Amino acid sequence: MSTYYFDGSDAAVTDPNAVWTNEANAFDGSTATEASVATGGSTSSNYMFAEGTNAPSTGTSINLVKARIFGDGDASAATLVAAIYTDGLGELLGSPSVNSASNAWGSYTDLSTPTGGWTWAKVQALEVKAYASVISDTSGQIMRIEIEVYSDPYPSTIYRKQGFQ
């Protein structure tokens, strides 16, 4: 397993509705810096958009890709979401989220396999629309959106051999 993060390396981070503050902080690889918003959003408005991850363009075959988000929902009043797409917003692969009263990681979400299967170039070119789906008298902060890539041997194969499901 290897861990990477969205870094906006394919294009500068954008905030089409200008509602986020310090949006580049959500894509700097740190969990100590943040982008903040006080307005609810969706994949069609009030989101931050980043193109590209810090994953390499080549490597061993990929079996599974997961993602999670690190953020702070301020008293759990904000649900922070990261809608993850293939390059060009071609396919929505998954939307990990977190709803926490303090800085916390959300659970990992398995991303669906894109058309043609996973390649390292596809992982490197992933795109994300990050937003707070619910805001209730407070704000939400996103610090990092992380990608985990599982290559051969895939861990669940070992678990299945040992009788675990």
**What CATH number has the domain bearing residue 121?**
2.60.120.260
* Residue 161 burial (C-beta neighbours within 10 Å; 0-12, 13-18, 19+): exposed
Q: Please answer whether residues 124 and 32 qualify as being in contact, where contact means their C-beta atoms are separated by less than 8 angstroms.
A: no
Alpha helices in the chain (DSSP H): 120-124, 155-161
Element (H, E) at 93: strand 92-94
Residue 71's pLDDT is 94
The whole-number pLDDT of residue 135 equals 66
Residue type, 119: T
pLDDT of residue 165: 47
**What is the predicted pLDDT for the residue at 5?**
98
Q: Which domain holds residue 57?
A: 2-161
What per-residue confidence (pLDDT) applies to 4?
98
Beta-carbon count within 10 A of 58 CB? 9
pLDDT of res. 29:
95
Which amino acid is present at 52? G
pLDDT confidence of residue 160: 46
What is this structure's pTM?
0.89
Walk along the chain (165 residues) and give the pLDDT tens digit of each residue. 999 999 999 999 999 999 999 999 999 999 999 999 988 999 999 999 999 999 999 999 999 999 999 999 777 678 899 999 999 999 999 999 998 888 999 999 999 999 999 999 999 999 999 999 876 666 889 999 999 999 976 555 444 444 444
Q: How much is the pLDDT for 106? A: 95
Q: Which amino acid is at 76?
A: S
User: How many domains in the chain?
Assistant: 1
